[in-house]
Amino acid sequence: MTLAASDTKDDAAEPAIENRRGFGIVSREGAAVAATILFAALALLPLLASAIDDPFLIVTATRIMVFALAALALDLVLGFGAMVSFGHAAFLGIGAYSVAILSSHGVEDILVQTLVALGTASLFALITGAISLRTSGVYFIMITLAFGQMAYFFMISLSAYGGDDGMTLWNRSTVLGSDVLESDLVLFYVVLAALVLAFFALRAVVGSRFGRVLRGTRDNATRMRAIGFSPYSYQLTAYVMSGAIAALAGVFLANQTEFVSPAYMNWQRSGELIVMVVIGGMGTLVGPIAGAIALLLAEEWLANLWEHYKLVLGVLIVCLALFTRGGIAGAARRLFRGGRHGG
């Protein structure tokens, strides 16, 4: 067949339309451009920080990027797999506790800590995912919530490692014996690098054969079964990948705050991650990063203005959900649509 459609540069193939549930409404190139601008701006942030002499800016930005990484991880299952996991904070906690617990036993190398974090989180995701994915819809939400809370209460009752009080890290992780991470600036760039790497890796995954099966299942599971796919193993794999990446965010979180407590794992934290993904734009990859930035900055500013800032934040979130279909990423796309759309 000569018309072999190999002209797949045509990215009409990518879901550039607004489908019913508002998933993935940003075109591939648009997302890449937006992300590249965002990453470049972040990379230059330390310059701004030194110009205005505000070192705390770097600390805040690092914290935001850590949550952006976790939100990115959640988006793989939530935005691309339509699996609403309400227990993703558990993975964040597993990552953070891997650092704190190993560190308390004298294992301070970040590579070892990360390997343990990824391994533990993958195992936890494999077991809880295998069970949770037997259900769907609201039941999936409830069961992931339950597993998340189990992890939370487990750490509360584990008094050997601080229990309810949490654990303080006496120093940050080392890298092959060096203590470079003690510098906030180095940690900032390490987290930024991880975020950029995760973004482009997930971008490839989402467009791959595997990602296409995942997206197809999100849109119409019956159709996927009717062409010969059994979605379960694909969904479970995505869940494990997502859990592992969230645990990586946890490793950085522990290093950033130098303190770990069960509060990282409770359901409010899981809810915040969902909010970041949804207000940012689920199924877009650049959305969750924007969502994390927006939510945490709004929190930061509002908290300075008024002690009951959560009330205002709640109203803001409601408005975002009501008036920006597809979240921040969707709104941005509509804003730029005139110039670039349909090219």
The alpha carbon of residue 292 and the mean position of all alpha carbons in its chain are separated, in whole angstroms, by: 9
Is residue 209 within the footprint of another protein (CB under 8 A)? yes
Q: According to CB under 8 A, which one of 76, 116, 143, 224 is a site residue for another protein?
A: 224
Alpha-carbon distances, residue 148 vs 2, 145, 230 (angstroms): 53, 5, 26
Is residue 204 within the footprint of another protein (CB under 8 A)? yes
Residue 9 beta carbon to another protein: minimum distance, rounded to whole angstroms: 8
Residue 145 beta carbon to another protein: minimum distance, rounded to whole angstroms: 28
CB contact at 8 A, 329 and 26: yes
Q: According to CB under 8 A, which one of 134, 212, 337, 341 is a site residue for another protein?
A: 212
Is residue 342 within the footprint of another protein (CB under 8 A)? no
Beta-bridge mates of residue 178? 175
CA distance 52 to 54: 6
Is residue 13 within the footprint of another protein (CB under 8 A)? yes
- Packed helices 286-305 and 267-280: angle between N→C axes, nearest 10 degrees: 120
Q: According to CB under 8 A, which one of 213, 265, 292, 329 is a site residue for another protein?
A: 213
CA distance 187 to 180: 8
Is residue 220 within the footprint of another protein (CB under 8 A)? yes
Question: Minimal CA–CA distance to 74: which of 317, 287, 300?
Answer: 287
Q: According to CB under 8 A, which one of 226, 305, 322, 335 is a site residue for another protein?
A: 226
Q: 274 burial class (0-12, 13-18, 19+ CB within 10 angstroms)?
A: buried
Residue 231 beta carbon to another protein: minimum distance, rounded to whole angstroms: 9
Is residue 207 within the footprint of another protein (CB under 8 A)? yes
Contacting positions for another protein (CB under 8 A)? 1, 3-6, 8, 10, 12-17, 19-20, 23-24, 204-205, 207-213, 215-216, 219-220, 222-230, 234, 237
